[in-house]
Structure 1
Amino acid sequence: MKIAEQVTFGGSGLNRAAHLRGDPDRQADLLARADATFLPIWRGKPLVRGENRDQLALLPMTHPLIVAPPGGEPDSPIFLGLSEADEPYFARDISHWHPEGQDTAALGRLFDPTEQHHPDLPPDHVFAELRRLMSRLSPRDAELAVIARGLVEWHRTHRFCARCGRESAPVMAGWQRLCDGCGATHFPRTDPVVIMLITHGDSVLMGRSPGWPEGMYSLLAGFMEPGETLEAAVRREVAEETGVAVGEVSYLASQPWPFPASLMIGCRGTALSREITIDSVEIEDAMWVTRSEMLSAFAGEHPVLKPARRGAIAQFLLRNWLADRLD
């Protein structure tokens, strides 16, 4: 698929400068530079700015949130990489901050419309759910946000050594954790997930999970298992969820998905039949949708069906299927 990297979070050519992560002196120099900036992350939400919340809010390293962070977290900022002008980017978790009197009831939910404002920031600087605004960000902002959120979440959930149980510490500018007890080194986790555009003639197979908003359907998806190829995972997941047998399978595109730590691997498959037998444990419903019906859904004119979330790889694949641009 020639336009595969145009998917949201598809990358912006950021120089991750991995060779600098293990050099404490170079990291100290980067942190001290006047052009160094950092992205605060609060409970998974990046800091954004502007009336439309369409830009990351990168702060100088002299800002109070880095000099005197809420809760006094001892961890150093996470090094994200360098711009084309060699400007250093960092991220910082400030989840110890408690936004008193602000709405936090929807934190962690699939659809979180709330925003939180820190008193040391301008009025248009807020923490917002990345899934809600991801399609508004520039490729560079999207790449910085996905790296920052993914690494911050990994550190939050992997504080203890999987080998001996002792608490580990961040090393390599935030890209590894080291256990002082047994010396084990731990690396950020990424879970591969196949997401499938399964077609039969002029129709595509769509499904929905329990709890989704009314009318929301998307492409089928599922985690890969150990010892499994992409092709086998696609056939197994589709058969498990809908009973539909799949023949030929091919790769299309991928998307980093930090909710919490997945790589969505977009594939195309040809169904061998149209008969659906739903596994109610796996999904709530599934159906075949014709090309004309999907066009109607994308136009907001379908009486039932709503399009997949804007910015997600499911919508990217469906849009390009409708435009006949999957090759």
Structure 2
Amino acid sequence: SNSTEQSGFILVGLFRQSTHPALLCLAIFVIFLMTLSGNVLLIFLIHSDTHLHTPMYFFISQLSLMDMMYISTTVPKMLLDQVLGENKISAPECGMQMFLYLTLVGSEFFLLAAMSYDRYMAICHPLRYAVLMSHRVCLLLASTCWFLGSVDGFMLTPVTMTFPFCGSRDIHHFFCEVPAVTKLSCSDTSLYEMLMYLCCVLMLLIPVTVISSSYTFILLTILRMNSAEGRKKALATCSSHMTVVLLFYGAAVYTYMLPSSYHSPQKDMVVSVFYTILTPVLNPLIYSLRNKDVTEALRKMCSVKI
């Protein structure tokens, strides 16, 4: 344990597995810049256009903020290590990266549930929507999401980092993810892994229950609508959110809920690349390209500048 605190860990990362590491590094850097610029633009549009000052866009701006922090937790360190030819990370840095990652992942789980609840209120209770989803309620929901995410980070990070690591220091991953770090411990972690599994099930079960219930009621309400245009608009609004939910939760279920027999270091890294690097860049595209309000706000901003 003392040796680990002094020397830290070695992140094996993606680039050792690649035949063209420089090209892969450039591609990830471009994706990183696209993620930051896309989410910053989306947040700016939401805050600058009064037509987008609604609960739905408030939650989308929170999602964009989480995505920017999410990708910034892992990718800059990975790219910098590749450029400098280093792949070491100290134990405190590893613990901080782990905590931020867990906090942001957990917060996004609950935020996606809050977004589905918002859609339920908008479609199923339109007359009382402004009262039920006031700005104060939205702030309370967003704060709760951040708090619950931080609880996940505070629960898992200290326990993981206090295990004795007296063998290999090679983390077969590009960041300090809990399962990858736990594998390096020379003590029996079976009980902890079981508790971690139960914790992750709970972290997924609560949001999934909220999302499933919300969309069940939404679909029932849509089927009862007389207006074909109203049904089309409601489905279009919900489809963007459901796309993000499926992308994010599908990868999380693989990482934290499937038995170890389904996992390998290579598979884990591929899945982590998908929801750590690719999902944050897809979210602004999904919510902007499929949303007329956002594209209209972008058009007005460009016309004003011209």
Determine if the TM-score, normalized by the shorter chain, exceeds 0.5.
no
Structure that is richer in helix per residue: 2
- Structure 2 length normalisation: TM-score? 0.28
Higher relative contact order (CA 8 A, sep 6+): 2
Structure that is richer in strand per residue: 1
- Structure 1 length normalisation: TM-score? 0.27
